[in-house]
Homo-oligomer: A and B are copies of this chain.
Amino acid sequence: MNVLIVYAHQEPKSFCGSLLLFGVETLKEEGHEVKVSDLYAMKFNPVCDRGDFREVADPDYFKVQKEQSYSTAQKSFAQDIAQEQEKVEWADIVIFHQPLWWFSVPSITKGWFDRVLALGFAYGGGRWFDKGVFRGKKAMLTITAGAPETRYQEGHIFGGIDRVLYPLHVGVFNLVGFDILEPFITWAPVQMSAEERAAELRRYQSRLTGLGSETSLPFHSLDQYPDPMDGLNSYVAPRSGG
């Protein structure tokens, strides 16, 4: 399989960085092809603006979706976006690997969603959820969380981790058609001993060894949730309010 890892951590010596190295090695040993988008190392620009596009659909009024749609048709995305889009097309599995910041991904990863998963390229024209562009591909979160797991259990202060990850799972991955694999979460690595960290790396190795044969999580499909707008509107853009 082709595996793309979209990775965001500033410090290669971090536990997050160790997980990356270990993960890449494991995946290659299993015979997979691996590409890594190391966002901080690439100095990936997360800000979505006119710079995303090499041609202009409307010079007087900047509407992101209109420009994204135009650049999809004209093949005129900025080079950094086009390169990431090619990697997504190449990949069978995309692993999004980063610390959990403010119950979400860091801004640099959020900017990857905003810019790379453009209207036209990643969704639009009724292509979403189980009719999505990336159906047949899988997405997975690899996360290091600062707090221990107890804090993220239902009934505790942060609420359930499923609630925390809902916008990422449903609003990003599911929406563009990815099947979703169970997230891999390391809880509070700062509180772990060296032995516990080594065991956690082995747990990740074991997880990735079986990646190809994993069953994806049950998520939304259009059949389950009939769209009240069906027939009225075949081209609703879910990502911006204009």
What is the interface of chain A, defined by CB distance below 8 A to chain B? 10-11, 13-16, 40, 46-50, 61-65, 99-108, 110-111, 113-114, 117, 129, 143-148, 150-151, 155-159, 163-164, 166-168, 170-172, 175, 186, 188-191, 220, 222, 225, 227-229, 233, 236-242
Contact B107 A114 (CB under 8 A): yes
Residues of B within 8 A of A237 (CB): 146, 190
Q: Which chain B residue has the least Cβ–Cβ distance from A185?
A: B241
A242-B101 in contact given A47-B107, A151-B229 (Cβ < 8 Å): no
User: In whole angstroms, how far apart are the Cα atoms of A106 and B79 in the complex?
Assistant: 21
Contact B240 A146 (CB under 8 A): yes
Residues of B within 8 A of A144 (CB): 240-242
Contact B49 A10 (CB under 8 A): yes
Contact A107 B99 (CB under 8 A): no
Partner of A107, one of B46, B65, B170: B46
Contact A239 B102 (CB under 8 A): yes
Contact B108 A107 (CB under 8 A): yes
User: In whole angstroms, how far apart are the Cα atoms of A129 and B62 in the complex?
Assistant: 38
Q: Which chain B residue has the least Cβ–Cβ distance from A103?
A: B171
User: In whole angstroms, how far apart are the Cα atoms of A48 and B44 in the complex?
Assistant: 12
This chain: how many copies in the complex? 2
Contact A171 B227 (CB under 8 A): no
Contact A166 B157 (CB under 8 A): no
Residues of B within 8 A of A155 (CB): 225
Residues of B within 8 A of A49 (CB): 10, 40
Residues of B within 8 A of A104 (CB): 104, 110, 167, 171
Residues of B within 8 A of A222 (CB): 157
Contact A62 B107 (CB under 8 A): no
Residues of B within 8 A of A171 (CB): 102-104, 158, 164
